[in-house]
Structure 1
Amino acid sequence: MRTEDLHSLTGAYALHALADDERAAFEHHLADCGSCERESLEFAAATARLGLAATESPGPVLKDRVLHRITTVRQVPPGGGTVERARRVVPRGRGLARWALAACVAAAVGLGGTAVWQYERAQDAGDRAARAQQRAEELAGVLAAPDAASRTVRLTGGASGTLVVSERRDRAVFLASGMAEPAQGRVYQLWFDDHGTMRPAGLMDPGRGSQAVLMEGDVDEAVGVGITVEPAGGSKQPTTTPIALMNMPV
């Protein structure tokens, strides 16, 4: 796969829409491409926000205006010169990136709040869906908060993580990109660093290298966030040396 093709996969990667071989190639590419790394994280955040989008039927006036305009817009014939000129003007990579963004928007609206994965232990499927939707709304609320502050750090193996904190909401979101899958029976666990005391803050999906996680619990007086590798199901206290420690964003 050519490098210019890899640059166009940021949107699909953020939506977990790549085949396994494409995902592996793109994650390898992420280790050396800061622009794709930033764009993938931005798409992941945008996906969470767009997941809250609601549809609304247009009023009769707007519908009539659109139908009238359709009759006045000239359709470009297949293979027409206008399309060919546009292809020559727009660089291939940039055009594909815009297509990826459009696909990201469309898919996010269709997926709704289910784009965000987190462990749920509710027994009833309806209860699980309601709780997942609530988490998605809270996650998007943090990302869209006027006072949201973020900090991006490099992690092991070329991965990266972005911590987003809203002081007003007293909540935090962790956005991961390109993280290696943990060993079987293990899971990444997030922690709040309360001045040296580590407080559990949720688990990450072991099967996804890129994801958005609403951290469990209030930020409160935490001064940082840590990540450890724990047994499946998590631990009450860290059992391994943190693979990452980061300060709260200012």
Structure 2
Amino acid sequence: MTTDVHSLVGPYALDALDDLERAAFERHLRECQSCRSDADELREAATHLADGAWAVPPPRLRDNVLAEIRNTPQGAPSSPPPPPARTGRRSHRFSARLAAAAAVTVTAALTGTVVYAVQDRRVRHEQAVADAAQANDARIRSILAAPDLAVREERLTSGGKVTVMTSQLRDAGVILLAADAAPDPGRIYQLWSIRSGTPASVKALGEGEATTVQIVQGLPGASEVGVTVEPAPGSTTPTTPLDALVSLT
């Protein structure tokens, strides 16, 4: 217990005392009108300062701030000379405690602002992903509904099949890969469009993936669609022999 029991009014109002200190200080409060007034005013001020701070700061942050409050000397400054002892000591103590409460509350408000910004960015990202998925679905439906839709299909050597649907009117196509299982660890499926004998990567699936639906703009201009099994994360040229080759002509 500190030798100046009056200096505990701030930590008491901020609930920073241990059980023994709290019990001793509450006995002191029954006898000290000045400390009772300080405690009541500090609690009221902290309540008003907290208005609008909707998020709680991390527990360790609060503990660190309160530790600094308790370790900061609370005596009156040596210069200029203090006003009458009782009134000056109370004013200085109250100002110091009020500043400490303001620091805790402002930190909470700033933390809340950061949390809100992170949450808002996550919500916007999720909304963008959902919007993109809806647009992709609408595009697929448009291609599959084309009156000139051509559908071609081949079996995969590794098991499963690849289906290629193209529309000259839409100048686009959809590749549907439905393998029986994903390749061995460290290897992936990769899709290719082949034009005039030159392959171009359409999509490299992730490890463990066995199915995909991929829209390819301009696919009717290709002569073939190929599927290969490649080392992850994919290759710049297809590994032969191909797992499947779909002719579009």
Q: Which has the higher contact order (CA 8 A, sep 6+)?
A: 1
TM-score, normalised on structure 2? 0.44
